[in-house]
Structure 1
Amino acid sequence: MDALDDLDLRVSGCRACPRLVDWREEVARTKRAAFADQTYWGRPVPGFGPSDARLLIIGLAPAAHGGNRTGRMFTGDRSGDVLYQALYDVGLASQPTSVARDDGLELYGVRITAPVHCAPPDNKPTPGEREACRPWLVQELRLLRPTVRAAVVLGAFGWQATLPALAEAGWRVPRPRPAFGHGVRVGIDRSDGGDGSDGGGGPDGLDLFGCFHVSQRNTFTGKLTPAMLREVLSTAAQAAGLGK
């Protein structure tokens, strides 16, 4: 077992936030009618993807009847349907769907994680829950640092959680901290002194990309289209040295 596998195992046993523990376990007991015959995961959902990933995708938190049911990030819900189709389209996933932990899906040079690992009520973790979960993201970033070269953050909540985690994990985050926006690209820890300019960079450089979250609200209304998502993922993959 490598260090990231060990981290994932420890994440899945966390019980630090009473409200989240109660909620995820209640959902796992009561279930949704469509999944009444399934055994829910009902625990914190660890990251998914290879330990030498060059591209990191950071979401918000698992869905109550998605990751909280399947045990894998963005698996078994409509947000995941959109994300994995886009990853497949740009050559970063072995298949366009993600329905279960054992469905054979592989990610190519990509790892998916979140700043909050438990499904929260109404999809809204509290600031305190986000802070309680941040050490897991910090440890994950430290373990990925030798290989990761780009990160796509889905949504403003994830962006706000990722910047301090990056700073704590050893990257030089620009000050003032950059604002979230779809298509925003920020260079961090560059050879030019880490001032946040685009392009170029040293061996530990990281390109950080903002992207609207793949929530049903955003995808159903057209705020985030498949083409917009593919464009961000393609650009990030190129920055990380991946893709077609």
Structure 2
Amino acid sequence: MLPQSPSPVADVEPPHDCPLCPRLVAFREGLRAEHPDWWNAPVHAFGDPDAWLAIVGLAPGMHGANRTGRPFTGDFAGILLYETLLKFGLAEGRYEARPDDGFRLKGAAIVNAVRCLPPQNKPLPEEISTCRSYYSLALDRLRHAKVLIALGQIAHQSAVRTAGGRLAAFKFGHLAEHRLPDGRLLIDSYHCSRYNQNTGRLTAEMFEQVFARALERRP
């Protein structure tokens, strides 16, 4: 197993054998038997502990973060995400799709709404709700992160609910901006998934617009 990048919120991360979601635990155990050299555990946050920007992802991808142990590392979605972060000065180094590549985030951190790989990349509502406690703790530690980017609707909903907002008052939409009850600014983006990119729902230009907007709103 490759060495893991240190989490910026290490003291509030879920344990390696987190038992809270039985379906996800069973899926994890099956993958550990099939792929013993993979990470196959809750994926910790990644980035700068003093980040002003927090990127909220959905959940680990099977051949990405669930394999490598670092968010968006080793899957198709990570290519666009990390290239964009480099372009906007929010990362440094060379992204080589492995957790020991020395790639670093500057002023940014990534936290998934759900830390464990869900079957078919679809977490159940109760799993999203259960894992929200870890997302909330991580966000508390990232006290300088006053701007959030939600990658997709589930990430958007977790950000809104964690801040004490009602979903009906915060409608998801690409490039939509929301002032959350906790004072943070939330900017929505379509998820940078392979499907969204291949279908043209999200282009590189559209994705870059989100990060350009975040930099304009930097506190």
TM-score by length of 1: 0.81
CA distance in 2, matches of 1:136, 1:72: 16
Return the match for 2:28 from 21, 24, 31: 24
Q: 2:10 maps to which residue?
A: 5
Aligned 8 A contact 1:87 1:96 in 2: no
Q: Unaligned stretches of 5+ in structure 2?
A: 1-5
Q: 1:78 maps to which residue?
A: 76
Q: % of aligned pairs identical?
A: 37
Aligned 8 A contact 2:8 2:46 in 1: no
Q: 1:239 maps to which residue?
A: 217
Q: 2:3 maps to which residue?
A: none
Q: 1:128 maps to which residue?
A: 126
Offset of residue 25 of structure 1: 2.9
Distance verdict in 2 for CA 1:157–1:3, change over 3 Å: closer
Q: 1:35 maps to which residue?
A: none
CA distance in 1, matches of 2:134, 2:179: 23
How many residues are matched? Answer: 214
Q: 2:201 maps to which residue?
A: 223
CA distance in 1, matches of 2:167, 2:31: 41
Q: 2:147 maps to which residue?
A: 150
| Alignment RMSD | 2.1
Runs of 4 or more off by more than 6 Å in structure 1? none
Q: 1:43 maps to which residue?
A: 41
Aligned 8 A contact 1:86 1:96 in 2: no
Aligned 8 A contact 1:148 1:240 in 2: no
Distance verdict in 2 for CA 1:225–1:65, change over 3 Å: same
TM-score by length of 2: 0.90
Offset of residue 175 of structure 1: 7.7
Aligned 8 A contact 1:60 1:115 in 2: yes
Return the match for 1:180 from 172, 186, 189: 172
Q: Unaligned stretches of 5+ in structure 1?
A: 32-37, 168-172, 190-203
Query: 1:85-100 residue pairs with structure 2 within 5 A?
Result: 85-95=83-93, 97-100=95-98
Aligned 8 A contact 1:11 1:46 in 2: no
Distance verdict in 2 for CA 1:98–1:152, change over 3 Å: farther
Offset of residue 28 of structure 1: 3.6
Offset of residue 57 of structure 1: 0.3
Are 2:157 and 1:160 aligned?
A: yes
Distance verdict in 2 for CA 1:175–1:162, change over 3 Å: closer
